[in-house]
């Protein structure tokens, strides 16, 4: 098995060329002729191998990964359990199409999802390829099950780049600009954003509910769709009580509560799902990213009575629940469980929070530090204000990259730095990354 070969990737960050190095620069030139300019890279080093929390580029630089490919390799790169499961499945068969001739691993993934997602009610699932596709299908199911059309989404939301999910996503640039027309019957209401609005969870929920009732009308609403911790929008953790109040309102009004856990799910926040921190039980959960340790797989899991209302053949797709991706998901879920990575996420939270809070006292540009588990961010402001400071975020990301650390920016105003390390990151690696980050923040204005 591949996993028994000793990995050539070291465990330490090591920058051996200028960044990007000569081989990466050559590849980048090659790419310009054939890859659409619509795709960009924040950090154009070309990767040839990865292990744990380190990715190595074609020039031999060992780069510390504090992004996990946007919250995907939560179990770490090149995890032996995942490599073995994927290799065995590739050798057995790679595709039949679940709608043509089924296979066990699809069913086994759905069994895991029924058990792991919040609530003890009966649940069924459908598997897809990407997060966007999962969200689209959750909306389809909610509309069919309720016979209603309106979908409620929030300020700062991110749900994808397909036509329907672009409409659900809040931010115009770069996701939506000139890509319209957009899907109808989508209504955006105010999010709880404690750092900027100062409202309690109850107050923010009252505001959002009033907006829905006045502008849409509860009886027209099929679903309320929300990221329990917003990802691309800036790692916004709603004030305590916001999610439970919305959940209660949806139950009272026959509205489907859809939790988009695509970025926050699978132990990322120190629990299996971010809604668990407030004991919210969604009617439907959308998942992807961390679910399958790097293989493309997404899922919609929900109350059986909603999910099973769909007519025969109403859900599907050629590749959804592909056997290799399903094998990766089963191995990933077992690894998360066996290595107790949910507890590790909480340890990572303690280490990062301590580092960032200390740094915040020292510098004038960190306005807020927030997040849960291994999903933590800080918001950059102009000193003495809450005005967004996107220039500082840019400068911090660039400094980190130059020093061999992957750090990602996010936020409606581009002024938030987010940390999403693989949960197998060691304390030494994490402290090293935080040191680089601290220097990056100190040199920014
Ligand atoms: N819902 C909450 O975070 C994907 C997008 C990066 P796909 N987030 C990363 C980019 O710029 O494209 C995401 C998410 C939440 C849905 C999605 C969409 O998932 O797998 O990218 O389609």
| pLDDT tens for each residue of 132-172 | 999 999 999 999 999 999 999 999 999 999 999 999 999 99
**How many A from CA of 256 to the centre of ligand 1?**
21
**How many A from CA of 274 to the centre of ligand 1?**
16
Model confidence pLDDT, tens digit, residues 345-404:
999 999 999 999 999 999 999 999 999 999 999 999 999 999 999 999 999 999 999 999
The minimum-distance atom of ligand 1 relative to the CA of 230 is 2
The minimum-distance atom of ligand 1 relative to the CA of 175 is 11
**How many A from CA of 18 to the centre of ligand 1?**
31
The minimum-distance atom of ligand 1 relative to the CA of 261 is 2
Model confidence pLDDT, tens digit, residues 402-414:
999 999 999 999 9
CA proximity to 242, closest of 186, 295, 283, 189: 189
- For domain 83-338, give the fold: 3.40.640
**How many A from CA of 361 to the centre of ligand 1?**
33
Domain residue ranges of the chain, discontinuous segments joined by +: 22-78+340-443, 83-338
Identify the pLDDT of residue 258.
99
The angle subtended at Cα 122 by Cα 116 and Cα 128, nearest 5°, is 60
The protein residue with its alpha carbon nearest to ligand 1, atom 21, reads 131
The whole-number average pLDDT for the span 219-225 is 99
pTM (global) more than 0.85? yes
The C-alpha atoms of residue 46 and residue 249 are separated, in whole angstroms, by 48
The minimum-distance atom of ligand 1 relative to the CA of 162 is 22
| Domain 22-78+340-443 -> CATH class | alpha beta
**How many A from CA of 70 to the centre of ligand 1?**
8
The minimum-distance atom of ligand 1 relative to the CA of 260 is 2
Model confidence pLDDT, tens digit, residues 224-279:
999 999 999 999 999 999 999 999 999 999 999 999 999 999 999 999 999 999 99
Q: What are phi and psi of 323, to 5 degrees?
A: -60, -35
Give the pLDDT band of residue 428 (cuts 50, 70, 90): very high
Using CB distances shorter than 6 Å, the residues near ligand 1 are 70, 130-132, 135, 158-161, 227, 231-232, 260, 262-263, 288
The minimum-distance atom of ligand 1 relative to the CA of 130 is 20
Mutation test residue for ligand 1: of 134, 165, 226, 289, the one with most atoms within 8 Å of CB: 289
**Quick count: other Cβ atoms within 10 Å of Cβ 254?**
12
**How many A from CA of 160 to the centre of ligand 1?**
5
Identify the pLDDT of residue 6.
46
Mutation test residue for ligand 1: of 158, 237, 260, the one with most atoms within 8 Å of CB: 158
Mutation test residue for ligand 1: of 263, 273, 409, the one with most atoms within 8 Å of CB: 263
């Amino acid at each position: 098995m591949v996993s028994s070969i000793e990995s050539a990737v070291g465990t330490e960050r090591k920058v051996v060329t200028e960044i990007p190095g000569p081989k990466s620069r050559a590849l980048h030139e090659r790419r310009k002729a054939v890859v659409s300019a619509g795709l960009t890279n924040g950090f154009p080093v070309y990767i040839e191998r990865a292990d744990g929390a380190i990715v190595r580029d074609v020039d031999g630089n060992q780069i510390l990964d504090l992004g996990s490919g946007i919250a995907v390799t939560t179990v770490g790169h090149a995890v032996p359990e995942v490599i073995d499961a994927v290799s065995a499945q590739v050798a057995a068969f790679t595709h039949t199409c679940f709608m043509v001739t089924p296979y066990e691993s699809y069913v086994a993934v759905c069994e895991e999802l029924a058990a792991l997602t919040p609530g003890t009610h009966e649940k069924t699932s459908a598997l897809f390829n990407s997060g966007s596709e999962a969200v689209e299908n959750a909306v389809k199911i909610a509309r069919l099950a309720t016979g209603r059309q309106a979908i409620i989404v929030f300020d700062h939301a991110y749900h994808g780049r397909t036509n329907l999910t672009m409409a659900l996503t809040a931010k115009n640039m770069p996701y939506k600009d000139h890509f319209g027309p957009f899907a109808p019957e989508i209504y955006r209401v105010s999010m709880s954003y404690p750092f900027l609005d100062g409202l309690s969870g109850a107050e923010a929920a009252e505001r959002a509910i009033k907006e829905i009732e006045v502008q849409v009308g509860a009886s027209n609403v099929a679903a309320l769709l929300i990221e329990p911790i917003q990802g691309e929008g800036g790692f916004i953790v709603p004030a305590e009580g916001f999610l439970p109040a919305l959940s209660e309102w949806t139950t009272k009004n026959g509205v489907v509560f859809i939790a988009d856990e695509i970025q926050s799910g699978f132990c990322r926040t120190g629990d299996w799902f971010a809604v668990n921190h407030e004991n919210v039980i969604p009617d439907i959960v959308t998942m992807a990213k961390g679910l399958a340790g790097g293989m493309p797989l997404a899922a919609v899991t929900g109350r059986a009575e909603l999910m099973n209302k769909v007519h025969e053949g109403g859900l599907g797709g050629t590749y959804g629940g592909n056997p290799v991706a399903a094998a990766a998901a089963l191995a990933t879920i077992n690894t998360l469980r066996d290595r107790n990575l949910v507890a590790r996420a909480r340890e990572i939270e303690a280490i990062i929070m301590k580092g960032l809070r200390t740094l915040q006292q020292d510098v004038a540009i960190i306005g807020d530090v927030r997040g849960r588990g291994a999903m933590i961010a800080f918001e950059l402001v102009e000193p003495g204000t809450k005005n967004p400071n996107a220039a500082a975020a840019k400068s911090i990301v660039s400094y980190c990259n130059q020093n061999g650390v992957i750090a990602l920016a996010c936020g409606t105003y581009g002024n938030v730095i987010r940390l999403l390390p693989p949960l197998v990151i060691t304390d030494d690696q994490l402290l090293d990354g935080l040191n680089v980050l601290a220097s990056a923040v100190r040199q920014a204005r």
